[in-house]
Structure 1
């Protein structure tokens, strides 16, 4: 039986679900190290790629690696979770950079896949952060 994009996305969502409790507790973790490690493990399990590698590239390029917008949303959620962990531990500048990157991922996903849901999420994040510069 052929492995379809839908199957890949379903598998990614299930893998993310197995890490859901750890990710939900990550921002409240006493130490950031284990929380950040759980984010990396969730990314590898859900997307099959290293979190640190994906986040080194611009959002448009990373979005181009995925065949479905849900995969981009998963990465954006993981980046946002990392931002929350960093913010909770006083690393505000890094947290803001991650929030900006999560927004860029959602915006790039909307541009590539034309999915309004990503646009609404990006617009909400944009408003919450007090206005971010537009993507070039």
Structure 2
């Protein structure tokens, strides 16, 4: 069973890596609807859960749904992408709220899974997910 979970998580990271450039392009092209749709699609395909539903709950409750620290990192990355999109549109309060929420997800992940497993999650994401191009 642990191997199956690992394969699922690795596939989730790869799926996010496949969709991340599309999200970044939509964000840079100022296509708000496409950007949000890309984030929602990435969440559904990589985590099997709806983005809008997950962000309605507090970070601790959401992290309890996950079996691996990588899943919390994926959601934190998607929330951070939405924060960047908000900031580029001048919606700074919403961007700040998303940035804080992403940080809370990571903190709760460290608390639940431990620092060593969370560090492994960061290494997995860095290895499997290409860095998004910085705007500008």
Pick the TM interval, shorter chain. 0.7 to 0.9
Query: What secondary structure does 2:57 align onto?
Result: coil
Residue 70 of structure 2 contacts residue 118 of structure 2 at CA under 8 Å; is this kept in 1? no
Which structure would you say has the larger RCO, counting Cα contacts within 8 Å and 6 or more residues apart? 2
TM-score (norm 1): 0.81
Asked if residue 108 in structure 1 is aligned to residue 111 in structure 2, the reply is no
Structure 1 residue ranges (4+ consecutive) displaced by more than 4 angstroms after TM superposition: 116-119
Partner of 2:53: 53
Residues 93, 116 of structure 1: alpha-carbon distance in 2 compared, 3 angstrom cutoff: farther
Question: 1-side partners of 2:117 and 2:3: how far apart?
Answer: 26
Alignment gaps of 5+ in structure 1: 122-136
Residues 25-55 of structure 1: per-residue CA shift (max 9 Å, x gap): 2431323111111100000010000000000
TM-score (norm 2): 0.81
Matches for 1:1-136 after TM superposition, within 5 Å? 4-116=4-116, 118=118
Question: 2-side partners of 1:66 and 1:117: how far apart?
Answer: 13
- Report the Cα offset of residue 18 of structure 1: 1.6
